[in-house]
């Protein structure tokens, strides 16, 4: 299942970067980009250091909605003691059917400086969480990375998870190489026109595929230890949508053919109408059992067997 014989010896990459002085260089480079923000593909070019706000509605400080051990996600992240999730407020996509619209659209949360983010990370580690899972981190990458030296100085030593919507900048990801041990992007759509319609990102499919390739290049296939806990690598989330709006076959063909057949994939069946979905049929209904079964069969027929919760299941 991707667990190498040296899995236990893996050490979070950010610790080495801190030791050799590279982490401070990355922080400086990321922070400078906030002055004319191009952190994500929208490239709003506003000065977030002066608290100006673009599409993500976030200025100099990150906004945190909530944090705590999470037990409902991917099994290699959850393990026995949970994934230490930090939910950041706002988003650079704003999907019209967002399942967390109160956070992404309505902006529920509180501003947190870098020392506060570090404090949260340490509290989650002290609770026994197997990792620190940054949910919707794309627009607050500089703030997260700037918090790391504070946390490292007080003993942070668990893997970091980059849990994004997939709309990530290649130049930003290059600066994250070695910082995040685990990447978990969404692969929402296979068609740019659908991305434009539902999340106002006209190049979503293209950007997400480029980003996922870069992520896999950095961390490889998912490595899991003897406890079943993820240490390093790529996981991909793909939410099944009504009437195949997500383009599951094209998406899974991309993963199997251009990433790796050993990719760990979570085909998610939890879609339900939220936010503005009721005004946009067929998003006004949940998915059927048949639609989900068809998606699983597509993935398995393409040779993708590391499916979260379905690794030994053959539906057809």
315 domain-assigned:
no
Q: Is-contact 183 215, C-beta < 8 A?
A: yes
Query: Any idea what the CATH number is for the domain that residue 93 is in?
Result: 3.20.20.70
- Percentage of the chain modeled with pLDDT above 90: 88
Q: The whole model's pTM is what?
A: 0.94
Burial of residue 71 (CB within 10 Å: 0-12, 13-18, 19+) is middle
CA 274 to chain centre: 20
1 domain-assigned:
no
Write b or e for each residue in 271-305: b if 16 or more Cβ atoms lie within 10 A of its Cβ, otherwise e: bebbbbbeeeeebeeebeeebbebbbebbbebebb
pLDDT digit string (tens) for 198-216?
998 999 999 999 999 999 9
pLDDT at 145 over 80: yes
pLDDT digit string (tens) for 65-114?
999 999 988 999 999 999 999 999 999 998 989 888 788 878 799 999 99
Mean pLDDT confidence for 15-24: 97
**Residue 270: other Cβ atoms inside 10 A:** 11
Output the DSSP codes for 60-125: SSEEEEEEEEE-SS-HHHHTTT-EEEEEES--SS--TT-TTHHHHTT--SEEE-HHHHHHHHHHHH
- Percentage of the chain modeled with pLDDT above 70: 95
2 domain-assigned:
no
What's the domain count of the chain?
1
Domain hosting residue 199, numbered range: 7-301
104 domain-assigned:
yes
Local structure of residue 181 (DSSP, 8 states): S
| Residue 192 CA: distances (Å) to CA of 81, 87, 202 | 38, 27, 6
């Amino acid at each position: 299942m991707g667990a190498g014989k040296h899995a236990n010896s893996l050490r979070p990459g950010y610790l080495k970067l801190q030791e050799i002085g590279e982490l401070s260089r990355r922080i400086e480079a990321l922070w400078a980009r906030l002055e004319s923000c191009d952190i994500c593909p929208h490239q709003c070019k506003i000065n977030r250091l002066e608290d100006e706000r673009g599409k993500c509605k976030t200025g100099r400080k990150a906004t945190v909605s909530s944090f705590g051990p999470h037990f409902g996600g991917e099994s290699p992240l959850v393990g026995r003691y949970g994934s230490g999730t930090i939910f950041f407020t706002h988003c650079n996509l704003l999907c019209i059917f967002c399942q967390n619209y109160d956070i992404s659209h309505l902006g529920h949360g509180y501003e947190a400086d870098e020392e506060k983010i570090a404090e949260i990370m340490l509290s989650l580690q002290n609770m026994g969480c197997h990792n620190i899972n940054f949910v919707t981190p794309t627009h607050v990458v500089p703030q997260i990375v700037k918090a790391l030296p504070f946390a490292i100085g007080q003993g942070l030593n668990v893997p970091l998870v980059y849990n994004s919507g997939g709309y990530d900048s290649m130049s930003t990801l290059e600066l994250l190489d070695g910082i995040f041990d685990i990447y978990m992007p969404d692969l929402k759509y296979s068609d740019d026109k659908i991305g434009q319609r539902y999340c106002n990102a006209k190049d979503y499919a293209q950007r997400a595929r480029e980003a996922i390739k870069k992520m896999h290049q950095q961390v490889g296939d998912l490595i899991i230890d003897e406890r079943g806990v993820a240490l390093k690598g790529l996981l991909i989330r793909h939410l099944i949508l009504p009437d195949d709006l997500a383009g599951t076959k094209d998406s899974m063909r991309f993963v199997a053919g251009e990433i790796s057949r050993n990719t760990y994939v979570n085909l998610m069946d939890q879609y339900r109408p939220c936010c503005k979905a009721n005004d946009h049929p067929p998003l006004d209904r949940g998915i059927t059992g048949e639609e989900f079964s068809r998606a699983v069969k597509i993935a398995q027929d393409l040779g993708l067997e590391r499916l979260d919760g379905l690794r030994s299941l053959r539906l057809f």
